[in-house]
Amino acid sequence: MRGERGRQRAQQKTEWNHKARKAREDAFIQELFSSRPCHSQPPPQSEPEIISDSNSDETEEVDPIEAEKRKIEESRRKIAELERDKPLWEAAKRERERVEQEEERERRAAKRARERKAEAERKEREYRERMAKEAEERLKREQEECQRREKERKHTQNRARWARGPWTIQRALERYRFLCEQFDNAKFSPEDPLTFDDIPWPMAHCSFSVEDIEWSTVESFFASVKPHMRVQDYKVFVEKSHRRYVLLCNHCHSSADGRL
């Protein structure tokens, strides 16, 4: 297609040059006859000689085949230059690939280093958290054990306190009031649970067990302490005891097993 376009341009240029020469020749002949005397007939015209004008032939006609040959030669020359520079390109390509591989290895090494560091930090954090949790649980157990021993010590002291000396209904009333005050001020929790000794049982006996607590023994206690109190005080005393045991029953029913 390029060759065909070149031939067409060359043909158009040739036609244009021919028309230009013909126009110049006609103008020259007209000027020549106008400067000579008139004749009836102009002299026979010979084959006009092509007069070249310096301005008209500035661009030489180009042979399409020759132009195509030149293009082919130029392409060959460029291919030869490319082949000559091919070792340089291949060396540059190998160097670029080497640099890219080295950078990739460095990126992978840096990534592995970050992952190892993150893993070490995670293990260290888990270890510290586990140690802190174990220390907290150990401290909690120690505190609970101290509270339990302190509670047992108080219970032992209370039992020894009320076991000394003769036992009377007045001392039974004092013990009940003392245990009621401690019970009302105590704050029971899963760490400090309610025990049998914490409950102010209304019992007139000095020592008793859970099998001894019956409705009749409770009535006997309140009947025994009534003569030792004023009527109004006794009424308040009974109402408070009743409310206390209602709260105690509610606590027992809301606990996990429903037992003390």
**Residue 29 confidence (pLDDT):** 67
Residue with tokens 């510290």: 128
**Residue 143 confidence (pLDDT):** 82
- At 45 the three-state DSSP class reads coil
Length, in residues, of the chain: 260
- 140 token code pair: 């909690």
Q: Whole-prediction pTM value? A: 0.43
| Helix and strand element counts for the chain (H, E) | 5, 0
**Residue 42 confidence (pLDDT):** 47
Domain ranges of the chain: 167-254
Residue 172: count other Cβ atoms within 10 Å of its Cβ: 20
For the chain, which residues score pLDDT lower than 50? 38-59, 256-260
Report how far residue 232's alpha carbon sits from residue 234's, in angstroms, rounded to the nearest whole number: 5
**Residue 59 confidence (pLDDT):** 47
